[in-house]
Amino acid sequence: MKVFEGLFKAPIINKEHRKLSEFGYLCVLQHHHLRQTCQGEWTIFLLLFVVSVKFLSDRVVKAARSVYSVMNEKNPGLIRDRKHHLKTHRQCCSGKELVDWLMKQNECLQSRSQAVGMWQVLVDEGILVHVKHELNFQDKEAQFYRFQDSDFGLSHIPNEKESEEELQEALALLSQLGPDALLTMILRKTPSQRTAEDIEVIYEELLHVKAAAHLSTSVTFSFGFCCDAVFSQGDKGTSWYIIWKGSVNVITHGKGIVTTLHEGEDFGQLALLNDAPRAATIILREDNCHFLRVDKQDFIRILKDVEANTVRLEEHGKTVLVLEQSTQSAGYNSSLPFFCVSCRYTVMSGTPEKILEHLLETIKLDSNGYDPIDPCVIDFLLTHKVFMPTSQLCPAELSEGSEQEKDAYIIDTKQKVVKLISHWVAVYGFLLKEDPVAMDFLEKEVAADSRLSGMLKEQYRERRRTKIQHFDWFSNCDEALGRIQPIKAKDKNRAELKLEASAVYTALGLNERLFICTSSEVEHLRPLKEQQGPEQGTTDILEQIGSKDMAAELTNFDWELFTAVHEVELVYYIFGRNKFPGAITANLERFVRHFNKLQYWVVTELCLCEDLMKRALLLKKFIKIASVNSAVQRLYKTWERIPSKIKRIYCTYERLMDPSRNHRAYRLAVAKLNPPYIPFMPLLLKDMTFIHEGNPSYVDKLVNFEKMVRLKGVLCQIHSRVISSSHSDSDHSLPQRSPTNIRLYIQNLKVIDNQRQLTQRSRALEC
Q: Which CATH number does the domain housing residue 414 bear? A: 1.20.870.10
- Residue 471, in any domain of the structure: no
**70 shares its domain with 39:** no
What is the span of the domain harbouring residue 418?
A: 325-434
Say whether 351 sits in a helix, a strand or coil. Answer: coil
Average pLDDT over every residue of 546-551? 86
Ordered alpha helix ranges (H), 275-331: 296-308
Sequence-separated (6 or more) residues with CB below 8 Å from residue 425: 432, 442
- Residue 750, in any domain of the structure: yes
- Taking 70 as the threshold, does the pLDDT of residue 684 lie above it? yes
Please answer whether residues 486 and 589 qualify as being in contact, where contact means their C-beta atoms are separated by less than 8 angstroms.
no
- Residue 297, in any domain of the structure: yes
**From 162-166, 311-315, 726-730, the region with the lowest mean pLDDT:** 726-730
- Taking 70 as the threshold, does the pLDDT of residue 154 lie above it? no
- Residue 96, in any domain of the structure: yes
Mind spelling out the 3-state secondary structure of 82-129? EEECCEEEEEEEEHHHHHHHHHHHCCCCCCHHHHHHHHHHHHHCCCEE
> To 10 degrees, what angle do helices 567-575 and 586-608 make?
80
- Residue 715, in any domain of the structure: yes
Work out the burial of residue 669: count CB atoms within 10 Å of its CB; fewer than 13 is exposed, 13-18 middle, 19 or more buried: middle
Average pLDDT over every residue of 210-239? 66
CA–CA distance, 101 with 145 (Å, rounded to integer): 14
**180 shares its domain with 252:** no
Confidence of residue 293 (pLDDT cuts 50, 70, 90): confident
Q: How many domains does the chain have?
A: 4
- Residue 121, in any domain of the structure: yes
- Taking 80 as the threshold, does the pLDDT of residue 333 lie above it? no
CA angle 331, 333, 337 (to 5 degrees): 130
Q: What is the DSSP string of 474-541?
A: TS-HHHHHHS-----GGG-----SSTT---TGGG--TT-------GGGGGG----GGGG--SS--HHH
**258 shares its domain with 186:** no
**Element (DSSP H or E) covering residue 691:** helix 681-694
Average pLDDT over every residue of 340-347? 58
Sequence-separated (6 or more) residues with CB below 8 Å from residue 615: 606, 609, 635, 638, 765
CA–CA distance, 18 with 206 (Å, rounded to integer): 13
Q: How far is CA 155 from the centre of its chain?
A: 43
CA–CA distance, 278 with 271 (Å, rounded to integer): 6
**758 shares its domain with 622:** yes
To the nearest 5 percent, what fractions of the chain are helix, strand and coil?
50, 15, 35
CA–CA distance, 598 with 604 (Å, rounded to integer): 10
pLDDT for the residue numbered 536: 86
Residue 705's domain is classified under what CATH number? 1.10.840.10
Residue 176's domain is classified under what CATH number? 1.10.10.10
**35 shares its domain with 125:** no
Say whether 279 sits in a helix, a strand or coil. Answer: coil
Residue 211's domain is classified under what CATH number? 2.60.120.10
Pairing of strands 318-325, 239-245: unpaired
- Residue 445, in any domain of the structure: no
Q: How far lies 654's CA from each of 171, 499, 633, 663, in Å?
A: 15, 45, 12, 12
Per residue in 607-639, pLDDT (tens digit) is 899 888 888 888 888 887 755 444 566 667 777
pLDDT for the residue numbered 25: 27
Tell me which of 191, 211, 237 is where a domain ends: 191
Sequence-separated (6 or more) residues with CB below 8 Å from residue 486: 564, 566, 587
Q: How far lies 266's CA from each of 210, 399, 662, in Å?
A: 9, 45, 14
Tell me which of 245, 269, 301 is where a domain ends: 301
**498 shares its domain with 427:** no
Confidence of residue 20 (pLDDT cuts 50, 70, 90): very low
**268 shares its domain with 288:** yes
Pairing of strands 46-50, 220-224: parallel
**525 shares its domain with 428:** no
CA–CA distance, 183 with 164 (Å, rounded to integer): 29
pLDDT for the residue numbered 3: 27
- pTM listed for this prediction: 0.65
**From 312-326, 474-488, 625-639, the region with the lowest mean pLDDT:** 474-488
Please answer whether residues 145 and 129 qualify as being in contact, where contact means their C-beta atoms are separated by less than 8 angstroms.
yes
- Residue 639, in any domain of the structure: yes
Task: Return the top range by mean pLDDT from 198-202, 397-401, 610-614.
Answer: 610-614
Supply φ then ψ for residue 243, to 5 degrees: -80, 115
**17 shares its domain with 74:** no
**574 shares its domain with 654:** yes
**500 shares its domain with 399:** no
**248 shares its domain with 119:** no
Tell me which of 434, 450, 466 is where a domain ends: 434
Per residue in 447-471, pLDDT (tens digit) is 776 666 667 677 767 776 676 666 5
Confidence of residue 386 (pLDDT cuts 50, 70, 90): very high
